[in-house]
Amino acid sequence: MLRKKLAIKLLITVVAASLFVSCNKSRDYKNSSRATGWKMNAKEGGFQYNPKVREQETGPGLVFVEGGTFTMGRVQDDPMHDWNNTPTQQHVQSFYMDETEVTNLMYLEYLDWLKKVFPPSDENYRRIYDGAVPDTLVWRNRLGYNEVMTNNYLRHPAYAEYPVVGVSWIQAVEFSNWRSDRVNEMLLEKEGITAKNGRYNTKPGEIFSTETYLSAPTLTYGGNDSITRGGKVSENIKKKSTDSTNLYIQRKDGILLPAYRLPTEAEWEFAALGLSGLRNYNVYRGKKKYPWEGQYTRSGNKRSRGDQLANFKQGAGDYGGISGWSDDGADITAQVKSYPPNDFGLYDMAGNVAEWVADVYRPIIDNDYNDFNYYRGNVYTKNAIDENGKVVVITADSIVYDTLSNGKIVARGLPGQILQVPIDENETYLRTNFSKSDNRNYRDGDKPSTRHYQSFGGETEEIEEDDKRMYNAPVPKVYADSTGALDRQYDKASSRTTLIDNEVRVYKGGSWRDRDYWLDPAQRRYFPQDMATDYIGFRCAMSRVGSKSKQGKRPRG
């Protein structure tokens, strides 16, 4: 009996000691460096980091999509014989996607911000606002009366929660950039870093830019430090700091979110399929034709049996069914969330509007070269640096405008943002993974991929010549003179064989104008990036940093 008691006491002592040691190790890990043993987050100074940050915060409007492997491309019959979406095996990392398409209300908030921060009445800023306004004339039809949508669709509150249309790919990208900065601006204010409501007390042209804040924080808000360092937390840090160290938030603090952006084609297709509902152990049980399960566009649910699961064109002249008994509840676009979401919780991944994705269009997905986070469209840039070694921030006097092929003038960057320039030999020298700034035509449209190039003996001719381009799409030219008047010159060449070039982008999903054939997430089409229609909208995505899954492994089955 005595031996038994001693054994129990010994066991308790050993367990307590092990717990004490493990607790000490845990504390040591939190408070001192595993690399040097030095104390971290010490009041005296040294290396500082945020030990509380564990997981990326989900940004406003986003839904988490756990990445994985899937078959990208059409797995059903291809009666159109396009052969531009043959199946390939791809893997995408976890990311976030907008729950719905970007709505008119969301876009109007963007326009309202532009109007207040860059007043169109100021000649320096007039073209900024004009370049962001959607093209409402896309609703016009030469043999149809659509003036009610032309005049009301964007701005009338009855359409507030409908997806925005008339937006080009370029405008969608600019909206995404604006949204990134506004969300991070909100997070800094919420954390007490920047002054509360300071964003309302700025002068025209004084803005918050995430990249400017990270690279040159003293130039944020036009150099107004009372806003940048005006929060309660900032004031306390300022009192304790003997120098400028840790006065500004950095990426390592884990507060700022990655950028909102357009999803890649692979991400969009993966998210639209929502294959998580078909998982069985480590394989998918079956294939999917639509974002929902089943081979039909109507619901098989008891409560909603027979209801259409998306709005699309039923047939010639049939955009919604007979009066009083609509097939899908809409004749043009529908209010977002009008139909059930897919297994990821995403709405309208088929029907309503087709959606821009980030990729430059090519007929073939080059999975032989890459099958991980596939994306065609990389143009690598870097911050411009002046002769004093400081970043170049765009001012009202240095805005660079681009005249697009359709004559629309857009700003290449906004005042307060850092000027971007192409990368050069400093980044590409002796690299094996990339060798130039613009990679949009890599292996499909560049010099080595054309028939006019020989891998030995040099090039037969200069393939930059018009008739030697692999994709010789028309090149309309628009010139602006000193008065701002545009000289539009159409491409009159008779030798054009394609509409594909580096300026056309992929759009995915069927729309209210399309038949159900286009509702398959694998379908892909293209459209010039600087043009807009009444059936293409967009939604934003955001990369996931850190772990692949939010909850770890789930039960199999």
Over range 143-149, report the average pLDDT.
Answer: 96
Top mean pLDDT of 217-231, 312-326, 521-535 is at: 521-535
Between 498 and 455, name the one with better pLDDT.
498
* Per-residue model confidence (pLDDT) at position 128: 95
Of 476, 501, 526, the position where a domain reaches its end is: 501
Do residues 252 and 50 make contact, with C-beta atoms less than 8 angstroms apart? yes
Amino acid at 406: N
Which of 484, 501, 518 is at the close of a domain?
A: 501
User: Which helix (DSSP H) or strand (DSSP E) does residue 90 occupy?
Assistant: strand 88-92
Which residue is listed with tokens 């259409």?
308
Number of helices followed by number of strands (H, E) in the chain: 10, 20
Burial (CB count <10 Å: 0-12, 13-18, 19+), residue 4: exposed
Identity of the amino acid at 381: T
CA distance 37 to 31: 9
User: Does any domain span residue 481?
Assistant: yes
Q: Out of 414-418, 433-437, 466-470, 536-540, pick the least confident.
A: 466-470
pLDDT, mean of residues 214-239 = 85
Better-scored residue on pLDDT, 239 or 309? 309
In this structure, the number of other CB atoms found within 10 A of the CB of residue 103 comes to: 21
pLDDT above 70 (res 344): yes
Q: Which of these ranges, 69-73, 214-218, 456-460, has the smallest mean pLDDT?
A: 456-460
Number of domains in the chain: 2
Tell me the pairing of strands 477-480 and 321-322: unpaired
Q: What is the identity of the amino acid at 1?
A: M
pTM summary value: 0.90
Closest among 488, 416, 512, 418 to 222, alpha carbons compared: 416
Residue 429: what pLDDT? 96
Secondary element (H or E) of residue 232: helix 232-240
> Over the range 68-100, which residues count as b (16 or more CB within 10 Å of their CB) and which as e?
bebbbbbeeeeeeeeebbbebebebebbbbbbb
Q: Is residue 456 a part of any domain in this protein? A: yes
Question: Parallel, antiparallel, or unpaired: how do β-strands 260-261 and 541-543 relate?
Answer: antiparallel
Q: Which residues contact 461 (CB under 8 A, 6 or more apart)?
A: 452, 468
Going by C-alpha positions, the residue among 180, 210, 171 that lies closest to residue 194 is 210
- Predicted pLDDT at 220: 95
Q: At what angle do helices 104-117 and 169-190 cross, to 10 degrees?
A: 80
| Residue 514 is assigned to a structural domain of this protein | no
128/465: higher pLDDT: 128
- Residue-averaged pLDDT of the chain: 87
Higher pLDDT, 549 or 377: 377
Per-residue exposure over 251-271, b if at least 16 CB sit within 10 Å of its own CB, e if not: eebbbbbbbbbbbbbbbbbbb
Q: How far from the centroid of its chain's Cα atoms is residue 364's Cα?
A: 22
Q: Kindly report the backbone phi and psi dihedral angles of residue 72, in degrees, each rounded to the nearest multiple of 5, phi listed first.
A: -90, 135
Q: Three-state SS string across 333-385, please?
A: CCCCCCCCCCCCCCCCCCCCCEEEEEEECCCCCCCCCCCECCCCCCECEEECE
Q: What integer is the mean pLDDT of 463-487?
A: 76
Give domain status of residue 447, yes or no. yes
**Higher pLDDT, residue 74 or 102:** 102
> What is the predicted pLDDT for the residue at 369?
95
CA 319, 324, 328, 329 torsion: positive or negative?
A: positive
| pLDDT confidence tier of residue 28, bands split at 50, 70 and 90 | very low
Confidence of residue 205 (pLDDT cuts 50, 70, 90): confident
Is a pLDDT exceeding 50 seen at residue 27? Answer: no
Q: What is the DSSP letter of 143?
A: T
Please give the radius of gyration of the chain, using alpha carbons only, rounded to the nearest integer. Answer: 27
Give the least confident one: 178-182, 399-403, 540-544.
Answer: 399-403
Which amino acid makes up residue 114? L
Q: Rounded to an integer, what distance in angstroms lies between the CA atom of residue 105 and that of residue 110? A: 9
Q: Considering only CA atoms, which of 485, 62, 528 is closest in space to residue 267?
A: 62
343, amino acid identity: D
Percent of the chain residues past pLDDT 90, beyond the cut: 59
Comparing 46 with 214, the larger pLDDT belongs to 214
Contact status, residue 259 vs residue 265, Cβ threshold 8 Å: no
In DSSP terms, 354 is beta-bridged to 536
Percent of the chain with pLDDT over 70: 87
For every residue of 411-447, DSSP letters joined together read ESS-TTSBPEEE--HHHHTT-SS--SSB-TTTTTTSG
Residue 26's pLDDT band (boundaries 50, 70, 90)? very low
Q: Which two tokens stand for residue 332?
A: 């043009």
CA-CA distances (angstroms) from residue 503 to 361, 378, 473?
9, 13, 10
Tell whether the model's pLDDT for residue 7 goes beyond 70.
no
What is the C-alpha separation between 271 and 342, in angstroms, rounded? 9
**Model confidence at 19, in pLDDT bands (50, 70, 90)?**
low
- Evaluate if residue 25 carries a pLDDT over 50: no
Q: What is the pLDDT of residue 322?
A: 83
Residue 115 domain-assigned (yes or no): no
Closest CA to 113 of 213, 222, 220, 205: 205
Length of the chain, please? 557
> Highest mean pLDDT range out of 364-368, 460-464, 535-539?
535-539
Residue 465: predicted pLDDT = 62
240 — pLDDT class (breaks 50, 70, 90):
low
User: Taking the alpha carbons of 461, 467, 473, 476 in that order, is the dihedral positive or negative?
Assistant: positive
Tokens of 235: 């004031």
Contact predicate 355/413, CB 8 Å? no
| Pick from 183, 250, 259: nearest CA to 217 | 250
480-517 CB burial, b ≥16 within 10 A, e <16 = eeeeeeeeeeeeeeeeeeeebbbbbbbbbbbbbbbebe
Q: Is the pLDDT of residue 4 over 80?
A: no
For 345, how many CA atoms within 13 A lie in the half-sphere containing its CB?
10
pLDDT of residue 403: 86
Q: For residue 64, give the H/E element and its range.
A: strand 62-65
More confident residue, 455 or 208: 208
- Asked if residue 296 is part of any domain, the answer here is no
The string of pLDDT tens digits covering residues 76-116 is: 777 777 889 899 999 999 999 999 999 999 999 999 999 99
Q: How confident is the model at residue 199 (pLDDT cuts 50, 70, 90)?
A: confident
Range of the domain at 32: 1-40
Judge whether 465 lies within some domain: yes
Question: What confidence category does residue 462 fall into, taking pLDDT thresholds of 50, 70 and 90?
Answer: very low
With 60 as the cut, is the pLDDT of residue 463 above it?
no
